[in-house]
């Protein structure tokens, strides 16, 4: 059945499982066992609906047990990339004309299938990217939300749009798709971000070449199969894992590519933006770049704050999923009168964090994503030890995998390396502020502007932060992570990206263009 506005219920966020229910625990344990039996499978490219194997392979490893291969994928060559773009261009000719209701129906069916297989996707995220059970389920729940939300959004944009009436004319404005897009997602929200970016582009009538992260290529392969099972025509979504050096610049710079949707590091995002800005021979448009990049997010703890709540919010924001979130708190800026008390409570709270294999239900913090990340974060920890006072952590944790202790370094200067550079790991810098004015200055004192949080009971401080804390997502008396689709449209300022506001009512406009038409009557 084709979706229409009058046939869909209002959007509601999917509930995130806490695994306190015995049935959920049993279902998750069964899913972990089932996924384990399928580890090591081979996944081909998917180009124009055809499965293509290649000699070169990409191995996705379990970061908790690096000797364990989660799966292997084909690795695309330049020729494969060219075929994928050509296939997407051919498919666009018909997909752009598909009614919005038909396109939305594919997303709704995909959401239903993902909901049915939720625990299997949870389990795969545990194995492939090292998420704890609740973190994995939150990732999958957000993916379901994106499918449901963007389907409804496309139905809204397909409705007659309000224009000012002119006597003697019949005027209308319609939204049409852009064309072929390249979607380059990260590994850290391995279900939610690829599914959200890709589904938004597709429901708007575009076709996609999906280049997943090599560290999360298996869950992306599952998603591509899911979309085709839900009725997506061949060529609309092409699965193209491969090395960035071999195919990344090729697809970004390709003259047939109309837009690039990217989530990842500042350095790669700026490179993509630079390359996309240079027109190629045969290119007929200015490419659009949708970029969500890094963060150096701060939580301000005012002297009047609820100290226990602030400690909990900082710990959850800094060490949830090992600090591997662009929204993670990497700076706690604490007013001087409560600074020492805050550190004492934070040290005790961090000591309670269980580090280990995320297959175990009790694990709170699993491994970082790979050996390169482990090495990079470890270097920052050593720098931090010289730039401040080590409160806790600072070492590798036990186990074969890429485990690090949650690390807190206090007495850090606002301009210190660990207070300025995105680390993307379980390392928190604590900075003492002389006053709330000083705290606001420190908070805004980086090149990023993604998320921030303020713990205070003073309404004047809240109003001040509303006006002056320069971030795309600002929270009061709650953690800086955990944006919900629809409720907290997500995207940041400055070097944090193009403020794309994923999960918001403006997001689909990034994948659409407006056509105004007038007829004399």
The residues annotated as belonging to the active site are 292, 326
Strand order across the beta sheet in which 297-301 lies: 389-392, 407-410, 427-433, 329-335, 297-301, 451-455, 473-476
Place of tokens 């290529």: 217
- Two structure tokens written together for 518: 């007038």
Element of type H or E holding 459 = helix 459-468
- Two structure tokens written together for 21: 């229910």
Element of type H or E holding 184 = strand 180-184
- Two structure tokens written together for 336: 């001087």
DSSP notation for 265-333:
-HHHHHHHHHHHTSPPTT--SPPEEEEE----EEEEE-TTS-HHHHHHHHHHHHHGGGG-STT-EEEEE
CA count, 13 A, side-chain hemisphere, 190? 29
Q: How many CB atoms lie within 10 A of CB 241?
A: 29
Q: For residue 476, count CB atoms less than 10 angstroms from its CB and return exposed for 0-12, middle for 13-18, buried for 19 or more.
A: middle
CA count, 13 A, side-chain hemisphere, 37? 6
Return the SS3 of 494.
Answer: strand
Q: How many CB atoms lie within 10 A of CB 2?
A: 12
Return the SS3 of 260.
Answer: strand
For the chain, how many residues are written?
521
- Two structure tokens written together for 126: 């545990």
- CB 451 within 8 Å of CB 318: no
Residues 6+ apart with CB under 8 A from 370: 61, 63, 215, 402
For residue 189, which of 233, 139, 244, 230 has the smallest C-alpha distance?
A: 139
Place of tokens 């009790």: 362
For residue 401, which of 377, 444, 368 has the smallest C-alpha distance?
A: 368
For residue 449, which of 308, 307, 253, 294 has the smallest C-alpha distance?
A: 294
- CB 361 within 8 Å of CB 27: no
Distance of CA 347 to CAs 296, 344, 393, 414, Å?
Answer: 21, 5, 10, 21
């Amino acid at each position: 059945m084709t979706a229409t506005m009058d046939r869909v219920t209002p959007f509601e966020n999917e509930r995130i499982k806490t695994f306190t229910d015995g049935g959920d625990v049993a279902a998750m344990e069964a899913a972990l066992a089932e996924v384990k039996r399928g580890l090591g499978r081979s996944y081909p490219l998917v180009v124009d609906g055809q499965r293509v194997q290649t000699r070169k392979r990409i191995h996705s490893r379990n970061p908790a047990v690096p000797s364990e291969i989660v799966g292997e994928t084909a690795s695309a060559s330049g020729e494969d990339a060219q075929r994928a773009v050509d296939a997407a261009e051919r498919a666009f000719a018909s997909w752009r004309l598909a009614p919005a209701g038909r396109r939305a129906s594919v997303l709704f069916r995909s959401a239903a299938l993902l909901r049915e297989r939720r625990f299997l996707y949870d389990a795969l995220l545990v194995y492939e990217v090292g998420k704890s059970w609740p973190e994995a389920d939150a990732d999958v729940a957000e993916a379901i939300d994106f499918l449901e939300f963007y389907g409804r959004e496309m139905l809204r944009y397909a409705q007659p749009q309000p224009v000012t009436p002119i006597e003697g004319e019949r005027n209308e404005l319609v939204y049409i798709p852009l064309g072929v897009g390249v979607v380059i997602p990260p590994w850290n929200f391995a279900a939610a971000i690829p599914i959200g970016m890709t589904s938004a582009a597709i429901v708007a009538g575009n076709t996609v070449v999906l280049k997943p992260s090599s560290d999360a290529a298996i869950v992306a392969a599952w998603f591509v199969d899911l979309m085709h099972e839900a009725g997506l025509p061949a060529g609309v979504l092409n699965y193209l894992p491969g090395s960035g050096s071999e195919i990344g610049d090729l697809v970004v710079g390709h003259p047939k590519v109309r837009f690039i949707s990217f989530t990842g590091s500042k350095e790669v995002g700026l490179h993509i933006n630079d390359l996309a800005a240079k027109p190629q021979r045969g290119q007929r448009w200015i490419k659009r770049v949708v970029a969500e990049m890094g963060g150096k997010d701060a939580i301000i703890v005012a002297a009047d704050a609820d100290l226990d709540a602030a400690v909990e919010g900082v710990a959850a924001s800094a060490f949830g999923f090992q600090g591997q979130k662009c929204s993670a708190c990497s700076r706690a800026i604490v007013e001087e009168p409560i600074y020492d008390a805050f550190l004492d409570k934070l040290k005790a709270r961090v000591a309670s964090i269980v580090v280990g294999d995320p297959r175990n239900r009790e694990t709170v913090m699993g491994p970082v994503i790979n050996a390169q990340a482990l090495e990079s974060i470890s270097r920052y920890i050593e720098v931090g030890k010289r730039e401040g006072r080590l409160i806790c952590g600072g070492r590798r944790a036990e186990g074969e995998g890429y485990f690090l202790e949650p690390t807190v370094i206090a007495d850090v200067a606002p301009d210190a390396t660990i207070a300025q550079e995105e680390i993307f790991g379980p390392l928190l810098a604590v900075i003492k502020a002389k006053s709330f004015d000083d705290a606001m200055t420190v908070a805004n004192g980086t090149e990023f502007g993604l998320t921030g949080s303020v713990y205070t009971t003073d309404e004047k401080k809240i109003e001040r932060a509303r006006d002056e804390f320069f971030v795309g997502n600002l929270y009061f008396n709650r953690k800086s992570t955990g944006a919900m689709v629809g409720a907290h449209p997500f995207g940041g300022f400055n070097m944090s990206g193009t403020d794309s506001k994923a999960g918001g009512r403006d997001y689909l406009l990034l994948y659409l263009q407006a056509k105004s038409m007038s007829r004399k009557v």
